[in-house]
Amino acid sequence: MNMNLSDATRTETGAAVEPSLLEVIELQGPPVSIRASEIRYRRLFEAARDGILILDPNTRKITDANPFMTELLGYSHQELLGKELWEIGLLQDEKASQAAFRELQNQHFIRYEDLPLQNKAGNRREVEFVSNLYDEDGQEVIQCNIRDITDRKRVERELLAAKDVISRHASQLEELVNERTSELRETVSELQAFSYSVSHDMRAPLRAMQGYAKVITECYAGKCLDATAAEYLQFISRAAIRLDHLIQDVLSYTKVLRAEAPLTRVNLDLLTCDLIETQSFAKQPGAEILIEGSLPPVLGNEALLTLCISNLLSNAVKFVSPGTIPCVRIRAEVTGGEVRVWFEDNGIGIAPENHDRIFRMFERIHPTSQYEGTGIGLTIVRKAVQRMGAQLGLQSQLGKGSKFWILLTKG
């Protein structure tokens, strides 16, 4: 093997001797794998977006710093070398630095979640500081990792402030809602009491008006009453009756709002049959109300169901074209645990744009001269269905009749 004297050792006689393979490797440097690891570590060290400092554990002085650390602090690499942490704004003073190093020597690890830092220009930043003491080839080394969390802390403070503002607003809003709810409950209670009282008090004079008009008509007709006076008395009587019906409907609606509505198993078939036999709407000349099959029992409130069925059937036989004999069919569809009860009529129908309108209080599509009514019936039905936790729907076209349905739980 050809090599110069620098690559060989000599014997005591001065003769050149070829070095061993191990000696050659040692002379040539570390193995490739170790050198690759060092290169990889150095690249990570240089490219890291966290600050990294290497310190001498004996002197506490900086022996190396990565580029991000110089960028963060504003010091050049050379300016950082040989300085202690407190001298570059990382710890408060030399005393704090010594205390931190004593803790590091005992624990081999220290961490500060929120450490203030002042760079060379005097600007303050907030950093997360982690320091490790470890052994490197028999020699202790300190590595410090510094992460700039200024922006994160700013966002956290802004979020905390926003949360505090929202919390205060929520508290104020809750207080306002409670106050307004209390006022509203008091107002509603007063209105209900007023409505109930006025309705009862108004019915007495109305009945008196009806009675006196009837007495005058019967006792004085053909004596001192001409045709015009008799007609006026009829107007008074009909107006009193209409107002009395309105008051009764208002009372019914108030009752629906205020009354307890416990749900029980209701024999819907029996209830509907009884209503058809006893209510006045079934006595209209020629009116036909048919139940297809047998209606299944449902879970509901019998009083509220009575109001619903009565109003739906009353409307069904009333709103028909002149000369048309009312025909109403009642049937039920059972699907799983639900019962949909249909009320289908051959009436005048309802235009799509009025489907929502008819359920509002006092809403009338037709004048009272054409179809009598108070405009509350379907409002009562809607509210009663809501109180039972059921659903109400409508299918109708103008001139093609209407199909109302109530969806209830099977009893």
- Chain segment 73-115, per-residue pLDDT in tens: 888 999 999 998 888 888 777 888 888 888 888 888 999 887 8
Per-residue confidence (pLDDT) for residue 24, from 0 to 100: 38
Per-residue confidence (pLDDT) for residue 16, from 0 to 100: 41
Amino acid at residue number 392: L
- Indicate where the chain has its CATH 3.30.450.20 domain(s): 48-148
Per-residue confidence (pLDDT) for residue 282, from 0 to 100: 58
Whole-model pTM: value is 0.49
Per-residue confidence (pLDDT) for residue 14, from 0 to 100: 41
- Residue 388's SS3 state is coil
What topology is assigned to 262-410 in CATH?
Answer: Heat Shock Protein 90 (3.30.565)
Q: Are 115 and 127 in contact (CB under 8 A)?
A: yes
- Indicate where the chain has its CATH 1.10.287 domain(s): 169-258
Q: Which residues of the chain have pLDDT under 70?
A: 1-34, 196, 198-199, 222, 259, 281-284, 366-370, 373
Q: Are 366 and 321 in contact (CB under 8 A)?
A: no
- Residue 137's SS3 state is coil
Using CA atoms, how far residue 173 sits from 158, 164, 185, in Å, is 22, 14, 18
Options 1.10.287, 3.30.70, 2.30.30, 1.20.1440; CATH for 169-258 is: 1.10.287
The bridge status of strand 264-266 relative to strand 338-345 is: unpaired
- What are the residues whose beta carbons fall under 8 Å from the beta carbon of 128, sequence distance 6 or more? 111, 112, 113, 114, 115, 146, 147, 149
48-148 under CATH 3.30.450.20, yes or no = yes
Burial class, 127, CB count within 10 angstroms (exposed 0-12 / middle 13-18 / buried 19+): buried
How many Cβ atoms sit within 10 Å of the Cβ of residue 38? Answer: 11
Q: Longest Cα pair distance anywhere in the chain, in angstroms?
A: 171
- Indicate where the chain has its CATH 3.30.565.10 domain(s): 262-410
Using the structure block, give the residue that is written with the tokens 């509907």. 272
Per-residue confidence (pLDDT) for residue 296, from 0 to 100: 95
